[in-house]
Amino acid sequence: MFISRDPCSGAIIQTFRSHALTRVMRIVDRVAAAQVRWAATAPSERSACLMRLAAALRGQRQMLASTMTDEMGKRSQEALAEVDKCAVVCDFYAVHGQTFLEPERFATEAGESYVEYPPAGVVLAVMPWNFPLWQIVRCVIPALVAGCGVVVKPASCTPASALMLESLAAGAGFPPDLLRIILADHAKLEAVVAHPAVAVVALTGSGGAGRVLAALAGRHLKRSVLELGGSDALIVLADGEVERAAQAAVSARFLNCGQSCIAPKRIIAVPEVAERLVGLLQAAIATMRVGDPRLADTDLGPMASREGRARLHAQVRASVAAGARLLCGGEVMAGAGAFYPPTLLDHVAPGMPAFDEELFGPVACVTRATSDSHALQLAAATPYGLGASLWSADTERARRLARFMPVGMVAVNATVRSDPRLPFGGVKASGYGRELSYHGLREFTSPRSVWVA
């Protein structure tokens, strides 16, 4: 059963019956047939479909945002921004997508030699709830531009957002059945992965889910693209601009109620700036207003579920018991919803859940380093490798230091973000493969070398 539940009140909004396996497989068959026709479609028609989808997203902006807010508690302003970002991705690939697929020519002793990028086939996209529209669009649009068909399995708590996107895509002129949503539990996914037309499995989710799906894809010799969790470090060095760093840290950490893989979850400061930074963080966090995500003056809405809140609170309490200092928040709020106050932990150290694990909620954690080099060591002391943020007045030195950080993305004097012009993804326990840019587009192709004598 797929259930949309209001995280402000806990009330059920809508229920969706899970698809039977026979229906799931019929959908995959139809996507496979549509993909064959789509692969032969002219590039100009693919771009036209994308432009119409961008217009449809903007036309249904309020309704899409409202649905996301209802399903997972996203603040209205953030939900509207998410829809806008989805439309921008459509615009970007409408203009640049076919250029990314142009054959690459190489000088060899052949009369002509090049690499072309035909579509891989059907993509299975298993997507999360925290950005219920953006996460799907970020994966699906490059796949469609590449000539693939896509089967999307959305999170069980945000089916309505996914189904709205499916409807908009159909109305934008994409072939019927090219993009389909399946409301299937994880037990049915093996049959989908095993389908002969499915060529790539893409997942955004937890490390546990990534391991299971990667093993499943490997069993059937299918490629996989995994965007998993993160515990990004935001490092403020001795010459860093503390006020800007603090402001950026609060903005990025509490976006989407802290439920973002690229949020700076470990704020690491050296002695020269630590006290000032902690003071600024505490002052900003203490003034945040928790409440109805639909109201303009709300700074922090509810978490997506009470189960997620319970996990987060247990991590906070265990960290405090291990020596972390609770400066604000840290108490479960009364009421039927999934609200959790903005929380700040200081003196977080390795060995505590707040340092070793991913805290997926509105909790900022400060770790105090003894020097710049120690700060970089602490930043790397994690199984994750999604992104990192480095703050220093010496940008050239910051660039050099960034080269040694075991992550997929680094921001200097800014926080990590996703942008369609740049590849998105991590290393280590944060997964493999890339989304967005031409790197993400080519994940859904099967490069073919051509040698003409």
Short-list 388, 382, 390, CA closest to 350:
382
249, 270, 380 from 277: Cα distances, Å: 10, 10, 21
261 is an active site residue: yes
What are the residues whose beta carbons fall under 8 Å from the beta carbon of 205, sequence distance 6 or more?
A: 126, 127, 128, 228
Short-list 86, 70, 178, 84, CA closest to 133:
86
275 is an active site residue: no
Which of 82, 227, 357, 358 does the annotation list as catalytic? 227
* Contact present, 36 and 190 (Cβ < 8 Å): no
Q: Three-state SS for 167? A: helix
From the CB of residue 275, how many other CB atoms can be counted at a distance below 10 Å? Answer: 12
**Tokens linked to 418:** 């996703």
CA distance linking residue 52 with residue 37, whole number of Å:
19
47, 132, 257, 435, 442 from 83: Cα distances, Å: 19, 10, 17, 18, 24
| Strands, E assignment, 251-385 | 264-269, 325-328, 343-346, 363-368, 384-385
| Strands, E assignment, 255-408 | 264-269, 325-328, 343-346, 363-368, 384-385, 387-391
* Contact present, 366 and 319 (Cβ < 8 Å): no
Which of 261, 365, 435, 443 does the annotation list as catalytic? 261
CA distance linking residue 234 with residue 391, whole number of Å:
8
* Contact present, 447 and 115 (Cβ < 8 Å): yes
Short-list 216, 297, 209, CA closest to 261:
209
| Sign of the CA dihedral with 238 first, then 242, 248, and 249 last | positive
CA distance linking residue 288 with residue 290, whole number of Å:
6
Which residues are annotated as catalytic? 227, 261
